[in-house]
Structure 1
Amino acid sequence: MEEEAIPVLRVEDAAAAVAWYERIGFAKQWEHRFEPGLPAFVEVARGGVRLFLSEHTGDARPGTLVYLSLQDVEAIARDLGVHAEDTPWAREIEVRDPDGNRLRIGTPTK
């Protein structure tokens, strides 16, 4: 088993959040609800990058910042209608998902 950290992001509507994350190359892996009608807890993944999206109010705070190091930030920027900028370590964008979670996405330049 490889050790890893998986950020948990608070979302109001897991289905809408999954659709938004699919725009940047993530795919839904699984969804859990304790019972029908209760809040959803979902995993999305893109390659080896995983995120948990939770409708549970106590799991995370909206507005959290997560840094994602992904390939081809230019394609992601185009798909989201934003402009990538150069930093000393990567070409980056910063966007917010529909729930206000901040994502800084970068493709390393070195």
Structure 2
Amino acid sequence: MTAEALIPIFRSFDEAKAREFYVGFLGFEVAFEHQFEPDTPLYLGLTFGKCELHLSEHFGDAAPGSSVRIPMKNVARYCAALNAKAYRHARPGYQDQPWGWRDMAIDDPFGNRLIFCEEADGLPDFGA
């Protein structure tokens, strides 16, 4: 037996803000959405490349203030693309860490942190 992919669940409190941030700003795609009936909490599945992330409005599914690291290529290029959108609530930057990773941390509207990162052996790749 082996484990497959890890799928983090982040707490969300506002569907419109979640969609604006994750889909409109970060570029995630909606994989699925579920509500037991109208006006009940939303459970939303998102994808970004091979990354899968779930957002839940359900009390008890997740605690706000969590962090997740999302490995990717071309963090600097992604950072520039995000800043070109002039999103009102975030102007991300990236940092080359002394342990050999480039990190770009972004907080979502609910206090969760996404850290897009790449290993140093992929640095620098600014124009790819």
Structure 1 equivalent of residue 4 of structure 2: 3
Q: How does 1:84-95 map to 2 (within 5 A)?
A: 84-87=94-97, 88-95=99-106
User: Root-mean-square deviation (CA), in Å?
Assistant: 1.6
Structure 2 equivalent of residue 32 of structure 1: 34
Deviates more, 1:81-90 or 1:48-57: 81-90
TM-score (norm 2): 0.77
Kindly provide the CA deviation profile for residues 52-74 of structure 1, in whole angstroms up to 9, marking residues without a partner as x.
Answer: 00000110000001111122222
- Structure 1 stretches of at least 4 aligned residues deviating more than 4 Å after TM superposition: none
How far did residue 43 of structure 1 move?
0.4
Q: Over alpha carbons, which structure has the higher Rg?
A: 2
Q: Compare the two structures and name the one with the higher strand fraction.
A: 1
> Could you tell me whether the CA contact under 8 Å between 2:47 and 2:53 is conserved in 1?
yes
CA distance in 2, matches of 1:98, 1:75: 23
How far did residue 98 of structure 1 move?
0.5
Deviates more, 1:44-53 or 1:10-19: 10-19
Q: Which runs of 5+ in 2 are unaligned?
A: 83-89, 122-128
Identity of aligned residues (%): 34
